[in-house]
Amino acid sequence: MPHVDIVMPLYNKAETVRRAIRSIQHQSVTDWRLIVVDDGSTDQGPDIVAALDDDRITIIRQENQGPGAARNRGIALAQSEFLSFLDADDEWYPWFLENSLKAIQENDVAMVASMYYLWPQKQDMTEFWAKRSVRTGIYHLQGNEDPVWVNKLRGVFLAWNVLMYTETARKYDGFYEKNHCMSGEDTTFFLRVLFGEPVMLIEPPAVRYHTETSELGFYLSRPRPIPPYLIEPETVLKYCPSANRKLLLQLLDYMALLSARQFARWGMKKQAQSLLDRFPGTKIHEKLYKRCRYEILVSCLMPNWIRFKYALRLLIMPVLKLCLHNNRTLPELPTMPYEES
């Protein structure tokens, strides 16, 4: 039996899936099994995986059901004590599994997350999170924390930088998968774990999170659908210990307010107002609430304002990056063993 099972959902990632798997094959820990769940791909991705000569790789095929269902299929098939996830367009550095396994085995925690790099920006996110008071260490929510800070903490636990006990994933019923959910399925799962178990954040960064295909869409597309934990709060509340229930409700209020602002900025007035109506606790955050109400009022103008800011960003950012490059020595980031020098 392998020491750790790795679950990789695959949907139309033919251009990147080989790279993702190579990063697993170059792990310093070699006792692993990779479960690739083809979620109804229509490209050559599954054929690329099937052609790899590595008996540690298993490919499972199913009709398209969404990323949550694909990951849950892998969880159901897992046999190892430990479980991890990697998306088919991201990469692990060779020390990811070794460091994560060491941390979870030496500490009384249910889940470990590693710091990471944004790529191709080559940004080490360790400092980014530290400025938001999210640093490496063990966290176990007690119910008296600031929900604004908890929202920052939960943001660092992602579907490609965590390792956990397989029994933990099953205890909290895995990722949300109803109605072919395409947004918030991972946050729903990690909220359940974060509010119920001690967790740990470690460094050095061990993941390259590739944003090449997501950054442009973030600025030009409309917001994603309302996530399941705001449509059906009970999907996270039912797993929450009573001592943390009030804190979780406060967090959901704050997350609803942030989502309402996103909808307002894209001219989606009804969606924004519905979130404020369903989560009256949003009023506690007085300044943000008033700003959101104003953005709803002028929501018909907001999309053009966002597009203008994005166009300005496209013009200014290259100049800023050039100035930063010329005025400071940038740290040399680690390379992957399969990259050409």
Within 10 angstroms of residue 102's Cβ, the number of other Cβ atoms is 14
Taking alpha carbons only, the member of 232, 115, 137, 240 closest to residue 185 is: 232
The torsion defined by the Cα of 47, 49, 50 and 56, in degrees rounded to 10, comes to -170
pLDDT score, position 308: 66
- Is 332 a member of any domain? no
Q: Using 50, 70 and 90 to split pLDDT, how confident is the model at 341? A: very low
Clarify whether residues 256 and 157 are in a common domain. Answer: no
Our measurement of the distance from residue 133's CA atom to the centroid of its chain's CA atoms, rounded to an integer in Å, reads 18
pLDDT digits (tens, 9 = 90+) for 212-265: 865 444 444 556 789 999 999 999 999 999 999 999 999 999 999 999 999 998
Give the count of domains, the chain.
2
Read off the pLDDT band of 13 (50, 70, 90): very high
What pLDDT does 212 receive? 82
pLDDT at residue 216, rounded to an integer? 42
**Containing domain of residue 249, as a range?**
222-232+245-302
> What is the tens place of the pLDDT at every residue in 160-190?
999 999 999 999 999 999 988 888 999 999 9
In this prediction, residues 20-29 reach a mean pLDDT of 98
Which pLDDT does position 305 carry in this prediction? 65
CA distance 100 to 140: 18
What CATH number has the domain bearing residue 140? 3.90.550.10
The pLDDT value recorded for residue 179 is 87
For residue 122, the model assigns a pLDDT of: 92
pLDDT tens digits, one per residue of 264-294: 988 899 999 999 999 999 999 999 999 999 9
Grouping H, G, I as helix, E, B as strand and the rest as coil, residue 165 is: strand
Does 325 fall in a domain? Answer: no
pTM reported for the whole predicted model: 0.91
Query: Taking 50 as the threshold, does the pLDDT of residue 129 lie above it?
Result: yes
pLDDT exceeds cutoff 50 at 109: yes
pLDDT per position as a tens digit, 42-63: 999 999 999 999 999 999 999 9
Going by C-alpha positions, the residue among 235, 261, 335, 338 that lies closest to residue 19 is 338
Same domain? 59 vs 97: yes
Higher pLDDT, 271 or 314: 271
Q: Based on the domain organization, do 104 and 154 belong to the same domain?
A: yes
Is beta strand 162-165 parallel, antiparallel or unpaired with respect to 207-210?
unpaired
Residue 188: closest CA among 178, 200, 198, 202: 178
Whether residues 123 and 28 fall in one domain:
yes
**Do 73 and 155 fall within a single domain?**
yes
* pLDDT (average), residues 86-108: 98
Which of 91-95, 146-150, 158-162, 335-339 is predicted with the least confidence, judged by mean pLDDT? 335-339
Residues 178 and 67 in one domain: yes
Q: What is the mean pLDDT of the chain?
A: 91
**Exposure of 193 in the CB half-sphere (CA atoms within 13 A):** 31
**Residue percentage of the chain with pLDDT more than 70:** 87
Q: How confident is the model at residue 323 (pLDDT cuts 50, 70, 90)?
A: low
Same domain, 50 and 141: yes
